[in-house]
Every structure is written in C-alpha cells, then in structure tokens.
C-alpha cells in the first residue's frame, strides 16, 4: 500500500512445512513515494521492483539474502537504477546543435534518429499524422506527400518542410531566404514536438523479465531495455547531474560542471567551432586563450560565483595532472583490454542478434555523450 513517504511495502513469506509464514516486511525506498508499482520479481536472490515516476521508469533492487531490516532504518538497502540521462529536444537544445557545421535539415534529422531518442512506432505515427495534416490543406498537396518511400529514413527528411516555399518580395522581387529558413525551422520544431508527445504516451513501463544469460530485462511499450553496469563516464555524469559530487581525482570535472551550469550556452563554444573550420597560423591553445580573454562570460556569473570557482581551482593540489586525467577520461577507456584469445572467441560467435547490436550501440552512444 502506498504512503506519503514511500511506495508501500513488500512481505516475504516462507512456504516450508506446507503453510505460508511471514518472514519479513520490507519497506520500499523513500524515492518510490508518489510512484506507481508496475511489476516486481525475484531474480538470483534479489528483489527487483519496477516503478513509474511520471513516465520515467526506475528499477529498485534489494538483496534478500543480505536482508536484515531489524538493524536498518525504513527504506534503506535499495539500489536504484535509472535510464541514462537523455536531453529533451527543446528549442534551446536544438539551437545548441546548430553550433556544429551541418545543414538545418541534417541537424534536426540527426537529432531525432539518434539511438534511444524515438522508437520506430513514434516516428511512423508522427510522420503519418504530419502527412494527413498537410494533405488536409486547401491547396494541392506537394509532390513529396504523394510519393512512395522505402524507409522512414527516406520519408521523414523529404516530407517534413515540403509545404514551406521560397517566396519573393512583391516590391523588389528579391528572394526572402530569411523568411524561408525561419518557416522551415518552425516546421521541423513542430514535427519534433509532436514526436515527443507521441513518445510520452508510449513509454510507460510494463514488466520485468530475465534474459537467457540471467540479465534483467525491462519491457516498455515499444521499447525493451536491459540492466547494465555503468562505466566511469556514465557514473561520473550521473553523480554530477544528481549533485552527488565527484571523487577527489575528478575535482576538475566538478569545477567544469559547475562552471557550465552557471554559464550555460556561451558564444565561446561557437567561436571555437568556427575556429576549427578555418586555416590558422597560431597554436589552438593561444587562440582559445585569446578568445576567452576577450569574452564577456564574466558578466553572466552570479555575485561571488567567480570568486568561488577560482577558490575551487586554487584548492586543487596538482591542477595540471588532474586536467590530464580528465582528458584521459574523455578519450580513453576504463575497462580491461580484451586479450587475443577473447577476441578469437568473439569471432567464433556466429549468431549475434540485432537486439544485442542495438543495445551495444545504445550503451556506447550514452557513454560517449556523457
């Protein structure tokens, strides 16, 4: 039964001697308050519970074999597993994507086709409804609306924005490119917003399960996931986002995270991106230092924030060594390197499912993003 402090409680019974006997009453964690229990099961001696937090799936795990609630406060002992952070495709986030050198259509299309963003069902539903809306317009439908397409990857970039036309100024006859690009951008943003609405209605959690190798599976409407161990970038990113702090050797990451939180999107990033597309005769380090010195991001800091950040930097014992450690984290691996015999065993695996390939690609995508 749910309460204001938790999602309720679970009772563990013993079926020995031909009758049920209550062994333990287990309180749910405090983070399950105001959440809905979707499923629960025992896998490998661990109690797994699936909760729905306002559309966000969460799994809480409790080791039953090590359970001793008589010496533990209520709700303690649960391990909480969440999906990796996924940025919302808001207009502000989409504007940030334009810092990369790419066309408007390619930027929007790449954003919605990234692994784990939208399901095939969502994209198909959204483009079908978009097509129906365009065909209901009084004018004759454009050619892209009546063509046949092989895949969604061909259909979406061709159809979205097909009703936007390049007009001329009635007085000068000049082509109104600015008006065209604004209308095209607004059309794409409207399509992405509709995709988000469809996705929210289909992402509710359904059930827990176990795979052939003992892995825990999560079934959602139009989605299936599997529990995996966090690598170092994912764990560090999770701790920084949750304001849990970082380990001492990653103090530079925590300082950079706080600075990014204070500043948000700045023109300095745009200058650096533009710099990489030009031919330069000076070292990048000198040019970036000059751009930073002439920047106005100091005005964006709150009162005392600059002094606090400088104090954090001065408190780091060996700033250069820890900075190199962060660079190694960004460009390296924290897992053990496979031996040659392990690679041979992997080559002998003849049947690797598409599902396994997709999970691996999705995990790598989240780790790189983190």
Distance CA 361, CA 119 (A): 15
Task: Give me the residue label for tokens 């001329």.
Answer: 168
Output helix, strand, coil percentages for the chain, rounded to the nearest 5. Answer: 45, 15, 35
**What's the burial of 176, exposed, middle or buried (CB within 10 Å: 0-12/13-18/19+)?**
middle
- The mean pLDDT value for 66-83 works out to 64
Report the relative pairing of strands 79-82 and 205-210 from DSSP bridges. Answer: unpaired
Q: To the nearest whole percent, how much of the chain has pLDDT over 90?
A: 12
The reported pLDDT for the residue numbered 159 is 93
Question: Which among 117, 108, 106 is positioned nearest to 84, based on CA atoms?
Answer: 117
**Predicted confidence (pLDDT) per residue in 316-352, tens digit:** 888 888 888 888 877 765 555 555 555 555 555 556 6
pTM reported for the whole predicted model: 0.69
- The mean pLDDT value for 4-28 works out to 82
Per the rule left: phi > 0, alpha: psi between -120 and 50, beta: everything else, 75 is left
Confidence class of residue 370 from pLDDT cuts 50, 70 and 90? confident
**Predicted confidence (pLDDT) per residue in 218-247, tens digit:** 888 777 888 888 888 888 888 888 888 778
Task: Give me the residue label for tokens 């970038």.
Answer: 233
The reported pLDDT for the residue numbered 158 is 92
Least confident stretch, 16-25, 142-151, 173-182, 188-197:
16-25
The reported pLDDT for the residue numbered 348 is 56
Confidence class of residue 184 from pLDDT cuts 50, 70 and 90? very high
Query: In the 8-state DSSP scheme, what is residue 281?
Result: S
Distance CA 181, CA 195 (A): 21
**Predicted confidence (pLDDT) per residue in 264-292, tens digit:** 655 566 667 667 667 777 787 788 787 77
Question: Which among 206, 225, 207 is positioned nearest to 215, based on CA atoms?
Answer: 225
Strands ordered across the beta sheet of 36-43: 36-43, 46-53, 56-63, 79-82
């Amino acid at each position: 039964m749910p309460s204001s402090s938790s999602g309720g409680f679970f009772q563990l019974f013993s079926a020995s001697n031909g009758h049920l006997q209550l062994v333990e009453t287990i309180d749910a964690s405090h983070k399950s308050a105001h959440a809905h229990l979707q499923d629960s099961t025992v896998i490998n001696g661990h109690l797994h519970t699936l909760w729905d937090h306002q559309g966000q799936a969460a799994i809480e795990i409790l080791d039953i074999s090590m359970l001793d609630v008589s010496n533990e406060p209520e709700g303690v002992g649960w391990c909480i597993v969440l999906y990796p952070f996924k940025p919302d495709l808001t207009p502000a986030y989409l504007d940030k994507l334009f810092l990369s050198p790419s066309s408007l259509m390619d930027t929007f299309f790449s954003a919605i086709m990234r692994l784990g963003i939208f399901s095939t069902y969502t994209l198909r539903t959204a483009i079908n409804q978009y097509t129906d809306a365009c065909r209901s317009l009084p004018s004759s439908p454009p050619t892209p609306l009546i063509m046949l397409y092989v895949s969604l990857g061909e259909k979406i970039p061709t159809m979205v924005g097909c009703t936007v036309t390049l007009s001329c100024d009635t007085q000068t006859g000049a082509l109104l490119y600015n008006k065209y690009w604004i209308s095209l951008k607004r059309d794409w943003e409207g399509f992405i917003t509709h995709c988000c609405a469809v996705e929210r209605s289909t992402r509710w959690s359904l059930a827990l399960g176990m795979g052939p190798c003992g892995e825990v599976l999560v079934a959602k409407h139009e989605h299936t996931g599997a529990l995996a161990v966090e690598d170092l970038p994912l764990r560090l990113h999770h701790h920084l986002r949750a304001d849990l702090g970082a380990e001492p050797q990653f103090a530079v990451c925590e300082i950079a995270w706080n600075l990014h939180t204070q500043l948000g999107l700045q023109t300095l990033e745009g200058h650096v991106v533009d710099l990489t597309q030009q031919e330069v005769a000076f070292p990048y380090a000198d040019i970036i230092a000059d751009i930073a010195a002439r920047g106005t991001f100091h005005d964006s800091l709150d009162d005392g924030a600059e002094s606090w950040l400088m104090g954090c930097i001065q408190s780091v014992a060996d700033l250069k060594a820890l900075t190199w450690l962060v660079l190694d984290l960004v460009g390296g691996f924290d897992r053990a390197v496979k031996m040659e015999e392990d690679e041979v065993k992997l080559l002998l695996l003849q049947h690797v499912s598409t599902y396994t390939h997709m999970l691996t690609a999705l995990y790598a995508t989240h780790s790189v993003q983190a």
